[in-house]
Structure 1
Amino acid sequence: MSQQFQPPAPDSYTAAPAPAPARRGGVGLGILAAVVAALVAAGAYGGIMNAIDRQVGYAAFGVGLLVGLAAGKVGGRNPALPVVSAILSIGAVYLGQLFFIALALADYAHIGLSDVLSDPGIGGLNDIWKESAEAMDYLFLGIGGFVAFGAAKKVSD
């Protein structure tokens, strides 16, 4: 006589425990991480522009991605973080463009970067940026902000 398989009774199954919620640092730490990421990305963006002597959209995309990921991963799900990361990313792309101008001036004048930053200061670099800004400069600002907003929103979900 063959025995047939008998499944266990439904009451003998135990439910799997619910996954633990992801602990995130909160909005303050998310903003702090985004600020640090924005400053690092601005320096890298300006350095890349100086190395290749032009702007590229991928670099502005990278700035936004870095800032948005930092804010979303560390800060968690807060509706303010995508907006803050977009603003910080726009600022980071702008600072990167200023850093590029400062590096170009230092190379052209054969002086140190600290001399460029201390002599005309940021105001002088801003004046140069305003005079030389083109539509692409503004487009790259927008790309950085757009990508940062989306990345912060996506990562926090």
Structure 2
Amino acid sequence: MSQSYPPQQPQQPGPAGANPYAQQPPAGAPAPYPAQPGAPAAPYPAQPGAFAGPPAPPAPGRNNLALGLIAAVVAALVAAGLYGVVIGLTKHEIGWAAVGVGFLIGVAAGKAGGRNPAVAIASAVLALGSVYLGQLVGTAMIGADELHVSFSELFFDHLDLVQQAWKENADPLTFVFFAIAAFAAFSGTKKAAA
């Protein structure tokens, strides 16, 4: 009787049939690595060190001047109103509020407009206007309280009186708040666009 050496094993279909040492998971068993959400199902898990393909291209840089200016103007008007209310309620100019005005304008402009240098400059200029408008609103709120008239009557009908009162009460610290707000707007735009 002649028998071949080594004894012949029955062939199984698939990779295990070609390699007697390869083991296939039982049917219905979970995969050793769970699939990533949204990824196509792979027949075998990726091996460490395997080439995954080229990296994704970087996101395109935003450079929308019009959208940045619109966002900065809207933020400037909102910030001016809030700053004026803070001044009117506390009857004081508050430095951190001026920083908040500038930063709010800068972040809105940078997020919407991107890295366009004109957006950063425009946000700084709008921050100056926003602080001024906020100080006028605050002055009108304080004056309306003292004169027992409505805010809207004093602010809209007698804006010249409000501006005159602002000029009389302006001191060097008032102009420091302008500079702080402009710097915060400029730097906030740069940080938000990065």
Higher-RCO chain (CA-CA 8 Å, sequence separation at least 6): 1
Shift of 1:24: 3.9
The gaps in structure 1 that reach 5 residues or longer are 1-7
Out of 93, 118, 131, which is 1:93 matched to?
Answer: 131
Structure 2 residue 94 is matched with structure 1 residue 62: no
Match of residue 115, structure 2, among 71, 77, 102: 77
Matches within 5 A, 1:27-46: 27-46=65-84
Aligned equivalent of 1:126: 163
Counterpart of 1:110?
A: 148
How far apart are the structure 1 equivalents of 2:60 and 2:144? 47
- 1:21 alignment partner, one of 33, 36, 59: 59
Q: CA deviation at 1:132?
A: 1.7
Equivalent position of 2:180 in the other structure: 143
The question of 1:52 aligning with 2:90 is answered: yes
Q: Is the 8 A contact 2:63 2:116 kept in 1?
A: no
- Other-structure match for 1:152: 189
Counterparts in 2 of 1:98 and 1:14: CA distance versus 1, 3 Å: same
Q: More helix per residue: 1 or 2?
A: 1
In structure 2, relative to structure 1, the CA distance for the partners of 1:135 and 1:21 (3 Å cut) is: same
Deviation readout 1:30-58 (Å, 9 max, x if unpaired): 10000000000000001011111111111
Residues of 1 paired with 2:175 and 2:186: CA distance?
Answer: 17
Quick one: distance in 2 between partners of 1:90 and 1:48? 17
Structure 2 distance, partners of 1:39, 1:126, is 18
* Separation of aligned partners in 1, 2:88 and 2:133: 13
Q: Would you say how many aligned residue pairs link Structure 1 and Structure 2?
A: 148
Which residue of structure 1 aligns with residue 9 of structure 2? none
SS at match of 1:77: coil
Between structure 1 and structure 2, the one with the greater Rg is 2
Query: Quick check: 98-107 or 128-137, which moved more?
Result: 128-137
Tell me the alpha carbon deviations over residues 47-74 of structure 1, each in whole angstroms, 9 at most, x when there is no partner: 0111111111110000001000000000
Aligned in 2, Cα 1:117/1:77: closer, same or farther, shift over 3 Å?
A: same
Unaligned runs of 5+ in 2: 1-46
**1:4 maps to which residue?**
none
Quote the Cα distance in structure 2 between the aligned partners of 1:112 and 1:25. Answer: 43
Name the CA distance, whole Å, in 2 between partners of 1:28 and 1:53.
36
TM-score (normalizing by structure 2): 0.71
Normalising by structure 1, we get a TM-score of 0.86
